[in-house]
Amino acid sequence: MNEDKLLIAQAEDLIARCSRQDIPVCSEFLDARQQSLLRRAFGEKQGDVTIAYFGGYEDADRVVMACLPYYMVDSVSMGAKDLDASESSAMFESFLSVIRATVPKNSQASAKGRALTHGDYLGALMGLGVRRSVIGDILVREEGADIIVLEDMAEYLKQNLGKAGRAYISTEIVPLPELLIPEKETTTFTDTVASLRLDAVLASAFRISRSRAAEEIKKGLVFVDYLEATKPDMTVDEGARLVIRHMGKARLAEVGRRTRKDRISIVIER
């Protein structure tokens, strides 16, 4: 069985378990491609099971697929869409937890003026022999990081994560609602495109050529509203979220009128 079929089979088992036992269950953390695969396969609802994706905060890169029984879902206020962090942190505390790592001021890293990076923390976690899929996003700050993990791994990671890079760190478990989310740096700019084809909008949003955009699509690295995009000529709608893996995120914030040169004015947030 290949990895895609195994992932779908595991998700089917979770859905069946939720329906049979009327309990909430969730997958391990999913990357963008895995999320896309499951979203296409199962949609937002399977029978009496609501399916939602959440990674600890809005716009998390790595999320779990949660299967929620009927009694946990307010069909009026939440429905079966992605969950907003303000509504769902408490709901997901049984699934997810946060390891808060702090770098002491007198540490070797601080003394040399070198801040620890995402790679330092991830490398330290992988060095403990755990799977990448039990670890979500790592939100790095100057004085440390908040690491989102599966709840049942939190205590083990807290006890064993004592060093990152060359710096000794202290760790504690904090509730999911206390997650510290770094402020986003967003740039908004206006441009014009010949059409709302995906390759044209990507070229504008990420400042690359259309041929480069088409190549990224071909490689399976482009996602539109969390779904993998496979066709360069697909039309991008206003409000769509665009991702090129390893290059970043953008949003087609606004589609304006055609210019005198018969091009379409657009506003991009990145």
Confidence (pLDDT) at 108: 58
Total-model pTM? 0.86
Give the residue extent of every domain in the chain: 3-87, 96-178, 188-269
- State the CATH architecture for 188-269: Roll (3.10)
Phi, psi of 213 (to 5 degrees): -60, -45
**Dist CA 30 CA 44 (whole Å):** 16
CATH number of 3-87: 3.30.1370.50
Confidence (pLDDT) at 7: 97
Q: Alpha carbon of 183 to those of 139, 180, 243, 248: distances in Å?
A: 10, 9, 19, 15
Candidates 3.30.70.330, 3.30.365.10, 1.20.1070.10, 1.20.120.550; CATH matching 96-178:
3.30.70.330
**Dist CA 203 CA 212 (whole Å):** 8
Q: Are 102 and 170 in contact (CB under 8 A)?
A: yes
Question: What kind and span of H or E run contains 258?
Answer: strand 248-258
Confidence (pLDDT) at 83: 52
State the CB neighbour count (10 A cutoff) for residue 53: 20
In the predicted model, residues of the chain with pLDDT beneath 70 are: 1, 74-90, 107-113
Phi, psi of 215 (to 5 degrees): -70, -40
Q: Which residues contact 176 (CB under 8 A, 6 or more apart)?
A: 56, 89, 90, 92, 93, 96, 97, 98, 148
